A and B are shown apart, each in its own frame.
Chain A
Amino acid sequence: GAGVSQTPSNKVTEKGKYVELRCDPISGHTALYWYRQSLGQGPEFLIYFQGTGAADDSGLPNDRFFAVRPEGSVSTLKIQRTERGDSAVYLCASSTQSQGEQFFGPGTRLTVL
């Protein structure tokens, strides 16, 4: 069966631009997570959705970051006014329930020039 997919796989943008990163979770998974991973580090939690609502957004670094999941399936992570420090791999994961094993996508590598 299909796993978690993320698009694009790579995104290069210029400082100050707006970007959207997409996550398609495993079908039927109600919980969806976004993480950010810098080189040589473990994934860092950003936001968690249970269904359509953000159950925990405490990991979003500032108000330039926003995520939506309008129909409880696909999610989009939106970054406004990108900065060079936003460069990282953005990972998405989904699970059948909030306490379940998380299945990760391959990530989107974002490079801000």
Chain B
Amino acid sequence: GESVGLHLPTLSVQEGDNSIINCAYSNSASDYFIWYKQESGKGPQFIIDIRSNMDKRQGQRVTVLLNKTVKHLSLQIAATQPGDSAVYFCAENLSGGSYIPTFGRGTSLIVHP
């Protein structure tokens, strides 16, 4: 039978377009969220984070939006470049205790030159 885990959601964009990657998190008690980028053969790389007392945070070419009402995160990448091609994971962390992120499933971003 089909292994759902092998089929990542995929977003294909043209170079220069803006990209939006979405993530639904599971635990309403989570208070810290991180986006990671993972290129083939490498470990995840921190992109941007946001705490639950914020709705929006901007970095260089990236913006993270947090909607706690519907438990939804999005990562917006402006002027997407071929080097942005990777798998993107959102991760949530429960309030209190040690920082052990729970990763979501991931979205594969493919940027066409």
Binding site for B on A (CB under 8 A): 4, 33, 38-45, 48, 50, 55-56, 59, 91, 93, 95, 98-107
Nearest B residue to A100 by beta-carbon distance? B99
How distant is B5 from chain A, measured CB to nearest CB, in Å? 4
Alpha-carbon distance between A55 and B100 when the two chains are bound, in angstroms: 11
A42-B43 contact given A55-B98, A98-B98, A98-B99, CB 8 Å threshold = no
Number of contacting residues on B, CB 8 A? 23
How distant is B104 from chain A, measured CB to nearest CB, in Å? 6
Interface of B is mostly: loop
Binding site for A on B (CB under 8 A): 3, 5-8, 41-46, 49, 89, 91, 98-106
Are B103 and A40 neighbours in the complex by a CB distance under 8 Å?
no
Alpha-carbon distance between A77 and B100 when the two chains are bound, in angstroms: 18
Which residue of A48, A91, A99 contacts B43 across the interface (Cβ within 8 Å)? A91
Alpha-carbon distance between A105 and B45 when the two chains are bound, in angstroms: 9
Nearest B residue to A6 by beta-carbon distance? B43
Closest 6 CB pairs of A and B: A42-B103, A104-B43, A40-B5, A40-B6, A42-B89, A99-B99
